[in-house]
Chains A and B, each alone.
Chain A
């Protein structure tokens, strides 16, 4: 088991305030963080394979969160995904979980909930599907 330092949590969200605020908090949890404003930007980066947990917005301009999940699966670069959304539609959660997401968080969420979700992601059996 490697040390916490080496674990990378990536954030993909088009909302700037999320990209500003979340990384600081996650760093406070003790993880390394990468923040991307779009799915395309994340795919183009070199952190995909290093990411232990992906915090992924659902609705974004360009490629959506679920579309990115599909793309990663297609590339056999599956990453445990925690969806985060500001839309209040709870019906979407079971669908996302059924399609392999670790968790789906509705903004605003508390630190504790976020930490639980990231912890669950770190123990997620990647590639089990």
Chain B
């Protein structure tokens, strides 16, 4: 069994509103899986179904090959997007309570919490009340409580919101470390640069339907347009631009340069080979820049949604 989590044609309706329509995803063991989509696409509903907070109307979810059951709750750690803590409770008490709800014994919870509090350098917060903490501080505690019981599957919904850049990196490194230690991560966010950095696999949900999924690299290959960013110095830039635009689709490009090269995006057709373009260019002048344009996760996101 290579997939830790498998959702098979999951549908969910709220009254007349379809929140999820026949959505299937497979999350490989030990991967970081990006669950993407615009606001209101149905991501949170899917995550809640995985967490057994809501039940699907049709379809099934398997964790480690077994249909979801109550005992799976302790195998999942969930950091919701809408998250908070009891305002009037002390940090330590609260963390203990949440840890014990996940099935940890009192002693076990205490040792693990001490370890994590030290690790994230918040050891002296134990007796503070939540209302004394800043938002970022409270987020750290929520993060700890999510991962404390060492679940097989971690689900983070917008984990970086509310963190300053330093703490965001700290949390990102923790997520990567947890993955390296064997956890599987589902990661839901709008921040495409963190998708780019972290995710191995993604699924894109739009208007209750899954419109895209697979390995990030595969998807990028699928979305690349065979376009190259070119910088070249010649005696006559205008002439070259004219010659190029007769053969290929050309548009102006911009990137950082030292001189006054001609900067263009050149889109090759299916039958064209990049090397032919390069040799053509070298025959015309001094090539300073030649890069294949790989679509960013952001581009893919926007493109996929537009196409739909």
Real binding pair: no
Seen from chain B, the residues whose Cβ lies within 8 Å of a Cβ on chain A are none
Seen from chain A, the residues whose Cβ lies within 8 Å of a Cβ on chain B are none
